């Protein structure tokens, strides 16, 4: 089961990387479409991670955690909706949300604490998606595009 989770994490990363490269390779029109898709996909992933909390089989899965799950899901929805009109704010929201979820998961999830391979993969993926967001922000605010 752990191998499947880690493999799926890396598959999810591949779409983030692909969407982050498109603006630098193709023209501006396709680039802006891929940045919007990145923002929407990021919001979906954040909402998915929020729902993921409901499946934790830990002793720490209190009703307090479930409120956090709803909060992360709503944050993901907000991020996806922002991607349509305020793309830079959406990218900043993705960075903030993913880093916050990683911190939350590292403190509250027993699976995260007990599985070094999973924890390492989550840390790596969160940081790589953050780098993708920063790269896209650099594209957006690049005075030469």
pLDDT at 58: 61
Closest CA to 69 of 91, 85, 47: 47
pLDDT 10s digit of each residue in the chain, 145 long?
667 767 787 888 888 999 999 999 988 889 899 999 999 999 999 999 888 887 777 655 577 778 888 888 999 999 999 998 999 999 999 999 999 999 988 888 888 888 888 888 889 999 999 999 999 999 989 877 6
Closest CA to 40 of 91, 99, 101: 91
By the 8 A CB rule, do 136 and 37 touch? no
- What is the distance between the alpha carbons of residues 16 and 123, in angstroms, rounded to a whole number? 15
pLDDT at 68: 83
By the 10 Å C-beta count (0-12 exposed, 13-18 middle, 19+ buried), 8 is classed as exposed
Closest CA to 56 of 16, 112, 11: 112
pLDDT at 1: 62
- What is the distance between the alpha carbons of residues 85 and 75, in angstroms, rounded to a whole number? 16
- What is the distance between the alpha carbons of residues 99 and 63, in angstroms, rounded to a whole number? 22
- Please tell me whether residue 115 adopts helix, strand or coil conformation: coil
- What is the distance between the alpha carbons of residues 70 and 68, in angstroms, rounded to a whole number? 5
- What is the distance between the alpha carbons of residues 36 and 48, in angstroms, rounded to a whole number? 18
pLDDT at 60: 55
């Amino acid at each position: 089961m752990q191998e499947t989770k880690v493999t799926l994490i890396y598959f999810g990363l591949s779409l983030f990387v692909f969407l982050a490269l498109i603006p630098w390779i193709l023209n501006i029109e396709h680039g802006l479409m891929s940045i919007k898709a990145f923002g929407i996909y990021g919001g979906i992933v954040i909402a998915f991670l929020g729902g993921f909390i409901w499946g934790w089989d830990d002793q720490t899965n209190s009703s307090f955690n479930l409120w956090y799950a709803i909060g992360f899901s709503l944050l993901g929805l907000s991020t996806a909706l922002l991607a349509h009109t305020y793309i830079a704010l959406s990218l900043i929201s993705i960075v903030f949300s993913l880093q916050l979820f990683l911190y939350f998961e590292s403190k509250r999830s027993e699976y995260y604490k007990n599985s070094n391979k999973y924890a390492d993969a989550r840390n790596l993926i969160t940081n790589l998606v953050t780098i993708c967001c920063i790269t896209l922000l650099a594209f957006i605010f690049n005075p030469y595009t």
